[in-house]
Amino acid sequence: MTLSPADRRRRAHEALDRLHERVLAHDMDGFADVFAPGGVMEFPFAPPGWPILRGREAVREYVRDYTDNVDITAITSQTRHETTDPDVLIVEWEVDGTALRTGLPYRMRYVNVVRVGAEGIESLRDYWSPLAAGHALGRLGELVAMQEGAQ
């Protein structure tokens, strides 16, 4: 069945809604389930060597321990930008929470470019600050070493 552009855009927004709901519910299995079986998640601003996740199960494995490290309590802002392609959204969002290992505040801004198809998220490019995350999580030295090792 062919969906209209309006229905495809609605589907994209609904997928993002589910993704954000799952983050706030600390349901990382549910987060992974929003991805299509062959969905890809990548992190263009991450240090060299950071994985590109290919497939729903790779996403599931990657986020499996997320809630052991970060307690996201709120999405404090969110702006969605529609593109000329009804399957693609750009979302700017910010979360608030706590990095559990360090007890430090975890306030992170993200920009995501998301493509949604019939089976879920087909691609999600996650732009985030490795420095901010590394500081909050107590892993700044590790991330700097990854960067230095790539040069």
Q: Which of 122, 121, 141 is nearest to 131 (CA)?
A: 141
Structural domain count, the chain: 1
**CATH, residue 22:** 3.10.450.50
Predicted structure pTM score: 0.88
Backbone angles phi, psi at 117, to 5 degrees: -120, -170
**Alpha-carbon span 80 to 63, nearest angstrom:** 23
Q: What is the domain range of residue 35? A: 5-149
pLDDT in tens, the chain (151 residues): 799 999 999 999 999 999 999 999 999 999 999 999 999 999 998 888 889 999 999 999 999 999 999 999 999 999 999 999 999 999 999 999 999 988 988 899 999 999 999 999 999 999 987 777 766 766 666 766 666 665 5
**Alpha-carbon span 128 to 77, nearest angstrom:** 15
Which residues lie closer than 8 Å to 146 by C-beta, 6 or more apart? 47, 48, 49, 50
Q: Are 127 and 41 in contact (CB under 8 A)?
A: no
